[in-house]
Amino acid sequence: MDKVIVMIENRKIYLSGGKSYIITLPKRWVENNGLKAGDYIKMDISDNVIVLKAKDSEKAKKVVTLDSKDICHDCLIRRIVAYYIAGYDSVRVKVYSGEHRRAISLASDMLIGAEIIEDLGKEIVLEIFTDPNRFNIDYIVERIGKMCITMLSDFKQHLKSLDGYIHSSIVMRESEIDRLHFLALRLLKSEIRPENLLEYRIIIRALERISDHCVKMSDSLMSIKMQLPKLIEFVEICENILKMTMKSYHKRSSDLADEVINEVEKFYSMEKKYSNILFELLEDFWRKKESIEKSANLRIILDSLSRIAGYCSDIAEAVINMCI
């Protein structure tokens, strides 16, 4: 392996022509990359970091061979996802059963840019065609946030109508959010790392968990098999908190983030009202002698709402950290 030499230098900024700012490039770096006067270089620009790259430079392709002989279906999927997040460009899997083939196919469907390009019978090659330069991490985060908001909005309608189509729609969006979640983690592990890396991971993970709880609530409602309009108020409060949370992220506003945390505390203080509604619904279940399973599913819905509010608070705290 070639030795990588890291040089840290301070360079003075000069003013040219009264309008443009210029700096000189290290001569050794220019010569090592075969550059000359008149050539172009690539610049990756963020708030206070600029990364310079020789125009024709290409990173080495990351390839791995995975022997799935003693790996179960779910474990194989997790391994492939892990290599995807770690930034690998090609995963060659030695397969031994139809179960392994199904796992690879499912993993391909779960990961944006992952395609099976070769099947040799005993080996399957999964290539990942994602260019970090073509994706914007903030766009992905905001897209996931909007999808979570619509899932909560649709769940309100679901509480009134008990609509199977709405339930299916919520489940499908959660699958798409999983795909975006894995892509975002891959981008954060790539060479182009944004500032506040930890905060981005917290926010992306929290939004993915919010989508999981939306599905959990919808599943529970389908199991209860009855409309629950009394819960709409609580879902709407969560929806508004999430909207405010994403607005604080978009504007990078610590004031809005503080407001989110305060609203979450108010939500938690509504425990008495929660308990009254819970008791009324449970009493109705008991009268119908359907208490045990329905009561459990009702508690899942209420617990998920509480957790969604908590994840909004986590995101708000991360936003405050990003504003410092």
**79 pLDDT more than 80:** yes
Question: How many folded domains does the chain comprise?
Answer: 3
Residues 226 and 297 in one domain: yes
pTM equals 0.80
Among the candidates 130, 154, 171, a domain finishes at 130
9 within domain boundaries: no
Kindly report the CATH number assigned to the domain that includes residue 292. 1.20.58.220
Residues 108 and 92 in one domain: yes
Among 221-235, 255-269, 274-288, name the one with the lowest average pLDDT: 274-288
Q: In whole angstroms, what is the distance from residue 28 CA to residue 7 CA?
A: 10
Residues 138 and 232 in one domain: yes
CA–chain centroid gap for 209, Å, is: 9
Domain holding 265, by residue range, is 134-323
Residues 84 and 33 in one domain: no
**316 pLDDT more than 70:** yes
**C-alpha distances in Å from residue 88, one per residue of 63, 65, 79, 123, 130:** 6, 11, 12, 17, 10
Residues 190 and 274 in one domain: yes
Mean residue pLDDT across the chain: 89
Residues 173 and 319 in one domain: yes
Residues 140 and 263 in one domain: yes
Residues 106 and 216 in one domain: no
Portion of the chain with pLDDT greater than 70, in percent: 91
Kindly report the CATH number assigned to the domain that includes residue 75. 3.30.110
Residues 196 and 263 in one domain: yes
Residues 67 and 193 in one domain: no
Per-residue confidence band for 305, with pLDDT thresholds at 50, 70 and 90: very high
**6 pLDDT more than 70:** no
Q: Can you tell me whether residue 33 is helix, strand or coil?
A: coil
- The conformation of residue 44, written as its DSSP 8-state character, comes to E
